[in-house]
Structure 1
Amino acid sequence: MSSTIMTVDDSPSMRMLLKAALSDLGYKVLEAEDGVEALERLGGACSAGNGPDLLITDINMPRLDGFGLIEKVREQDRHRNLPILVLTTESSDEKKQRARSAGATGWIVKPFHPDKLAAAIRRVLH
């Protein structure tokens, strides 16, 4: 059975690129356009027994940014160990440290290369 990855990004084109890359790698993809929708989908997917094995989130999004999403996910017992990769154009050490402090597992800078994305996913999923 393939792993399920939830992608969270307010850019439709980035969600499309991620879905294509992840589908090519054999993953099932759930999508959300910001942190609020991601939390809603996480709640629904988990109650249906279809929770993701990995969360990939952008940082800069409306309603609830990536930092807030990571913090809220980590507050929930059932998601305490869910791997979370940050995929963003941000590359400052300060932002990386803030993401790590919030509970992020790893960091990928946009634009991503599919091979680097695959390697990052393998590191946190296996």
Structure 2
Amino acid sequence: MAANAQAWSLPDAVRGEQVYARCLACHALAVDRVGPRHCGLFGRRAGSVPGFAYSEAMKKSKIVWNDKTLDRFLANPLAMVPGTAMTYDGVPDPADRANLIAYLKRADEAFPCAVRARE
């Protein structure tokens, strides 16, 4: 029974895609919009997408995006990077954040991110 309960707590990329719908007002996977693109996010230094006009706060944050830093940022962007141009309040639910992170990881290996990585 414990293994079954644990399975329910694993991040779900399909649910994460539903959470990502909230991000689409400003972000896209493969192109910059009001916010920077998300393809290639993991392992990338915050504020480093070429040609994107980041806030000074984000450029100076020294964050490298991984599960932990992204989870913390998504919980409360303004608290983690005071002065960021991202004014979204964040994703308060830890399960939603975990699902969103799982989706972003999966998306990074699929179309359109995989195609963009080869360009």
TM-score by structure 2 length? 0.29
TM-score by structure 1 length? 0.28
If asked which structure has higher relative contact order (CA below 8 Å, sep 6+), I would say 2
Structure with bigger gyration radius: 2
